[in-house]
Amino acid sequence: MELILSDLRIPIEKDGMDEYVKAASQQLEIDAGNIFIAKILSKSLDASSKEQFYYKISLIVTTPDNFQNKQNLPVYSEPVKANRKTTNIKGRPVIVGFGPAGMFAALELIDYGLKPLIFERGKKIEERFVDVQKFIKEREINPESNIQFGEGGAGSYSDGKLFSRRNNNSSYVNRVLKTFIKFGAPEEIGYISKPHLGMVKRNIFLQVSILLWDILRAIPLR
């Protein structure tokens, strides 16, 4: 049986698989040798106590077949797979904007064998950087290239922390996280709370550019 154990508290200096198994075996009241950690669902820092910082960990744990779930812990079931439909669309779908939504729309459509046309009104990330700096230093805004507009979308100049609905473990969210991993993010983004993504969006941009050849820049749709 696979059970979900939520919010196990591990002192940060003891962090590691052995401690997770120990905490799980205490919660389930069975021998550590009889359980197996199938997946780390989430991991976040709990700094509410100044004396001791903890990681709050949620796990999927495999228990022996004869295990009696007396605490009525939630049983894990595989997320329902998103149905991939085939399409009869002919021609090229249009995507307006190459922020995260545009990027994932492009990857999805490419998966269907389509070749979307992408319109992005802002500049390339390197050129945007100059305009953003100019705004920060001189308070002079370029309406077409700024914090909001341009390759990578609105959050490109944030510190790169990923906000997602990771905890609900839905197949859609997992697919997004897996895509980030495929494009170079570390595996741990699958369970760390608000992880850092680094250059992943740039890698997706490059991949989509290679696949499509023609991302149309500086052509705003009004």
- Residue 97 to residue 12: CA distance in whole angstroms: 41
Nearer to ligand FAD, 25 or 164 (CB): 164
Q: Does 121 bind ligand FAD (CB under 6 A)?
A: yes
Q: Please give the C-alpha separations between residue 214 and each of 97, 108, 144, in angstroms, as whole numbers.
A: 14, 17, 20
Q: If you compute the radius of gyration of the chain from its CA atoms, what whole number of angstroms results?
A: 22
Minimum CB–partner distance for residue 144 and ligand FAD (Å): 8
Min dist. Cβ of residue 71 to ligand FAD (A): 35
In the complex, minimum distance from the CB of residue 22 to ligand FAD, in angstroms, rounded to a whole number: 33
* Number of residues located near ligand FAD, criterion CB under 6 A: 26
- State the angle between helix axes of 100-111 and 171-182 in degrees (0 to 180), rounded to the nearest 10: 90
∠ Cα 70 76 77 (to 5°): 135
User: Nearest distance from residue 157's CB to ligand FAD, in Å?
Assistant: 6
Binding of residue 150 to ligand FAD (CB under 6 A): yes
Distances (CA, A) of 192 to 11, 53, 68, 166, 169: 16, 16, 30, 9, 13
Q: Site residues for ligand FAD, window 37-96 (CB under 6 A)?
A: 96
Rule CB under 6 A: is residue 116 a binding residue for ligand FAD? no
Give 57 or 122: the residue with its C-beta nearer to ligand FAD: 122
The yes or no reply on residue 120 touching ligand FAD (CB under 6 A) is: yes
192: Cβ–Cβ under 8 A, 6 or more apart, which residues? 42, 43, 44
Question: 5: helix, coil or strand?
Answer: strand
If binding is defined by CB under 6 A, does position 99 make contact with ligand FAD? Answer: yes
| CA-based nearest residue to 151, from 103, 115, 105, 110 | 103
**Taking CB under 6 A as the criterion, which residues in 156-185 touch ligand FAD?**
158-159, 161-163
Torsion sign (Cα): 127, 128, 132, 138: positive
Q: Does 101 bind ligand FAD (CB under 6 A)?
A: yes
Q: Give the SS3 label for residue 28.
A: helix
30, 154, 176, 199: residue in contact with ligand FAD (rule CB under 6 A): 154
Stretch that binds ligand FAD, among 55-63, 127-135, 143-151, 175-183 (CB under 6 A): 143-151
Footprint of ligand FAD (CB under 6 A) = 96-102, 119-122, 147-150, 153-155, 158-159, 161-163, 220-222
